[in-house]
Amino acid sequence: MEPVYLSVTALTKYIKRKFDADPYLERVYLTGEISNYRPRPGHQYFSLKDDHAVISAVMYKGRFDKLTFKPKEGMKVMLIGRVNVYESGGTYNIMVEHMEPDGVGALYQAFSELKEKLTREGLFSLPKKKLPVFPKRIAIVTSSSGSVIRDIMTTVKRRYPIVQLVLYPTIVQGKDSAANIIKNLKAIEQKGDFDVVIVARGGGSIEDLWSFNEETVVRQIAAMSVPVISSVGHETDTTLADFVADVRAATPTAAAELSVPVLSDVIRYIHQIDNRLYQKMRHLHTIQKQRLNRAMQSYIFRQPERMYEGYAIKADQAQQRLANQMQQQIHLRSNELQRLQLRLENRNPAREVQLAGNRRQQLADELQRAMGRYLKQKEMRLTSAMQSLDLLSPLKIMSRGYTYTTRNGDVVASVKELHSGDKLKVNFSDGYAEAEVKHVVEEK
């Protein structure tokens, strides 16, 4: 039997009829987390997911307007709807008829808890660094492919082509993205010659943007010494990187516009400043010239002596006051001197001096007489002592034939001190003789 080949359209119609005829798919009760949600003025399109699967969802405007709450990215909800096949795209989705909140999704809960923690630490309230007006080098942390880098480069080239852009190719989604973002930010910080850093990424679900909610990434952005512009996701997306960055831009294009001025506007502004400066200088020159002319016509230049007339008068007055005060002081001191002279005359010490002189002379005479008597007594005692000493003098004795013997300068007092052969010196009253001991005899 020959196989029958179906067209894609036929197969899709068959599958759609199966879905439409299945009673279990006619009314489905689902719970999950909202993802890829972007508010639209008409029908709403988003995804509903759990840990292992994702399904597209559509909610028509009429039913959406009846909701009593505002859906948000990451919010966990319960919904009622029917499963439908979209033939043109060959996809299926759930047509939501009713929806209500069912707590907060895991990622949204983690986002809220980390945000609250970092808020308590004050990480989001740190002083924001100002963007330089005329940057020279800008570092861009984003994927090397995609529209983000192209939008930034196009915008910067159009507005301020003289700035240098340096791309740090970065993984912005997936398990390795956070580590790669931190690595590039640290490399920029270590390089140290950038004026601005742009951290950018296109739109996506909360899972896609989660790298920019990682605590390590947020702390690294806060630690940067260079101003950081955060442009992660679309305008409605919010990440923790946006809170900690110095400036938050809604789109990568907006980030590029915030980072650089418009060169033509800068040049025009410089010309305007230059013209205003020239006009200001001309005006100041005119004013100063007028002041100079008025000053030249002033009496100070025509009659300069008038400048110090007042000071001369004050100097004369001060001199007169000084002379008067000096005269008063002289008069006071003269009166004081006269009073002291009168007191001195009343207490003239001349008599006391004369009496003291007479008394001194008497004492001097008495001292002279006493000294004479004292010296006479001492002289008599000295004469007597000399006579006694002369009688006891060894020389006097030696003149009668006595001698004394020495050996090596020491007096020999006993034969016990002598030995045969000793050299001796025998001292007389009128000289000495040298001798040698021949024999020692000790008498008992």
Contacts of 72 (CB under 8 A, 6+ apart): 34, 37, 108
Structure tokens at 327: 């005269």
Predicted confidence band at 111 (pLDDT cuts at 50, 70, 90)?
A: confident
For the chain, what is the mean pLDDT?
86
Region of 390 (left: φ > 0; alpha: ψ -120 to 50; beta: rest) is: alpha
Residue 57: name the closest of 67, 45, 69 by CA: 45
* Burial of residue 62, with CB atoms counted within 10 A of its CB: 0-12 exposed, 13-18 middle, 19 or more buried: exposed
CB-CB contact of 17 with 11 (8 Å):
no
Q: How far is CA 90 from CA 87, 208, 232, in A?
A: 5, 24, 31
What's the pLDDT score for residue 1?
A: 65
User: Which ranges constitute the DSSP H helices of 37-176?
Assistant: 61-64, 106-121, 147-159
Q: Which of 133-137, 369-373, 382-386, 408-412 has the highest mean pLDDT?
A: 133-137
Percentage of residues of the chain with pLDDT beyond 70: 94
> Running DSSP on this structure, what letter comes out for residue 399?
T
Task: Give Dmax (Cα) for the chain.
Answer: 187
Residue 259: name the closest of 167, 184, 172, 152 by CA: 152
What's the pLDDT score for residue 154?
A: 93
CB-CB contact of 263 with 160 (8 Å):
yes
Q: Is the pLDDT of residue 143 over 70?
A: yes
β-sheet bridge partners, residue 56: 47, 93
The least confident of 18-22, 169-173, 184-188, 190-194 is: 18-22
What's the pLDDT score for residue 103?
A: 56
The least confident of 255-269, 276-290, 306-320 is: 306-320
Chain centroid offset of residue 397 CA: 105
CB-CB contact of 167 with 144 (8 Å):
yes
Predicted confidence (pLDDT) per residue in 13-47, tens digit: 888 888 888 888 888 999 999 999 999 999 999 99
> Running DSSP on this structure, what letter comes out for residue 72?
-
Q: Beta 404-407 vs 44-49: how paired, if at all? A: unpaired
Predicted confidence band at 224 (pLDDT cuts at 50, 70, 90)?
A: very high
pTM score, whole prediction: 0.46
What's the pLDDT score for residue 105?
A: 56
Distance CA(100)–CA(67), nearest Å, equals 8
Region of 371 (left: φ > 0; alpha: ψ -120 to 50; beta: rest) is: alpha
CB-CB contact of 58 with 17 (8 Å):
no
Of 217 and 270, more confident: 217
Distance CA(84)–CA(95), nearest Å, equals 7
SS3 206: coil
Q: Which amino acid is at 348?
A: N
What's the pLDDT score for residue 290?
A: 86
Predicted confidence (pLDDT) per residue in 148-170, tens digit: 999 999 999 999 999 999 999 99
In total, the chain counts a number of residues equal to 444
**In the block, residue with structure tokens 């390795």:** 176
